[in-house]
Amino acid sequence: MPCHSFREAVSARLDGEPLGMPDRALDEHLGSCAACARWAEQAAVATRRVRLAPAGPVPDLTGAVLAALPRELPGVAAAARRRLVTTALRLALLAVGAAQAGLAWPVLVTGPGSMSAPVHMAHETGAWNIGVAAAFLAVAAAPRLAAGALPFLVSFTALLVPVTLADLGAGHVHADRAVAHGLLVLGVVLVGGVWWRAHRRRFRPAAVRRRVAA
């Protein structure tokens, strides 16, 4: 075997790497080859000097690195804004649901506010409005319910608004009662907003979600 193979094994031994040959074979060669034995000694001295030599001065770049970092990670800031908007929508929907229930409860219990309608019709109207309020409150508490509540709420609102406007123009309904229906419209808009934000997050591309979470 040529000497360069043994010298490579010596270098590997100094670096703590596999020799590529048995230790005994390397030691026997160094014992019989004065040139390789001398080379091994010189290599050991050079390796020791390199490892024990003091490190050169390195500039402290900590301040420059920290100054180059953004003050706020874009993905984290965007996620925080989304949570803030969703929380605001849910709190607004909670307030609308409570107001809707507050207006409907007296009608359900005593029957006033129904103009000349029979008491049972007033109670029925109160129960209906309490049901709408319960839907608002349920979506505010559990946004995942928005998808199920929207078909009912949107269809009810789409029918009620034009009928109310026609009755208001014909004088069949008082203005204060018509204005009270604005709570319904506002609640439906808020439910739609809650649904849209949950829907957009659920179907956002996986690559975008990973980039925001990184």
132 and 37 housed in the same domain: no
First to last CA, the chain: 54
Q: Do 23 and 97 share a domain, yes or no?
A: no
The reply to whether 187 falls in a domain is yes
Chain center to CA of 188: 25
Place of tokens 């208001």: 168
Find tokens 């008082």 and name the residue.
Answer: 174
* Same-domain check for residues 104 and 199: yes
> Exposure string (b/e) for 119-140, b if CB count within 10 Å is 16 or more?
eeebbebbeebbebbebbbbbb
Residues in CB range of 129: below 8 A, 6 or more apart? 100, 101, 103, 104, 107, 108
For the chain, what is the domain count?
Answer: 2
Amino acid at position 44, single letter: A
Same domain, 203 and 101: yes
State the residue range of the domain holding 127. 74-213
Same domain, 131 and 80: yes
| Residue 168, Cβ density class (10 Å: 0-12 exposed, 13-18 middle, ≥19 buried) | middle
Residue 62, in any domain of the structure: no
Q: 116 with 37, same domain?
A: no
Query: Do both 95 and 18 map to the same domain?
Result: no
Token pair 């043994």: residue: 6
pTM, two decimals, is 0.50
Q: What is the pLDDT along the chain (214 residues), one digit of tens a residue?
A: 788 888 898 898 988 888 888 988 888 988 899 999 999 999 998 888 888 877 677 788 888 877 877 665 556 667 778 888 889 999 999 999 898 888 877 777 775 544 445 666 666 777 888 888 899 999 999 998 998 899 988 998 888 888 878 877 777 666 666 677 788 889 999 999 999 888 776 555 444 445 444 4
